[in-house]
Structure 1
Amino acid sequence: MRRLLVVMVTDFKSQMTMHGTCIFLGLGTNFDREANLVAALQILDSNLQDLHCSNVYESLAIGDGGEPFLNLVVYARTSMELQELNAWLKLVETACGRQIKDPRNQISIDIDLLLYGDLNGNFDGIELPRADVVNYAFVLRPLSEIAPDHVHPQSGFSYAELWCAMQRDTAIGKTSGACALFTSSERA
Structure 2
Amino acid sequence: MAEIYISIGSNVDRERHFKNGLAALIKHFPDYSHSNVYESEPVGFSGRNFFNSVFAAKTIISVEQVCLILKQIEQDNGRTRSDKKFSPRTLDLDLLMYDDMICEEPAQLPRDEITKNAFVLLPLSEVAAEVEHPVAGQKIKAIWQNYHNPSQKLWKVEL
TM-score by length of 2: 0.91
Which of residues 46, 54, 60 is equivalent to 1:73? 54
SS of residue matched to 2:44: coil
C-alpha displacement of 1:57: 1.1
Counterpart for residue 94 of structure 1: 75
Which of residues 6, 16, 22 is equivalent to 1:35? 16
SS of residue matched to 2:39: strand
Counting only pairs closer than 5 Å after superposition, residues 13-28 of structure 1 correspond to structure 2 as 20-28=1-9
Determine if the alignment matches structure 1 residue 170 to structure 2 residue 151. yes
Structure number with higher helix proportion? 1
Higher Cα radius of gyration: 1
- Structure 2 unaligned runs (5+)? none
RMSD: 1.6
Equivalent residues of 1:30, 1:108 under 8 A apart: yes
Amino acid at match of 2:115: V
CA deviations on 1:69-91 (whole Å, 9 max, x unpaired) are 11100101222111111111100
Counterpart for residue 134 of structure 1: 115
Which of residues 39, 44, 51 is equivalent to 2:32? 51
Equivalent residues of 1:149, 1:160 under 8 A apart: yes
Query: 4+ residue runs of structure 1 moved beyond 6 angstroms?
Result: none
More relative contact order in 1 or in 2 (CA 8 Å, sep 6+)?
2
Which of residues 93, 107, 126 is equivalent to 1:145? 126
- Structure 1 unaligned runs (5+)? 1-19, 182-188
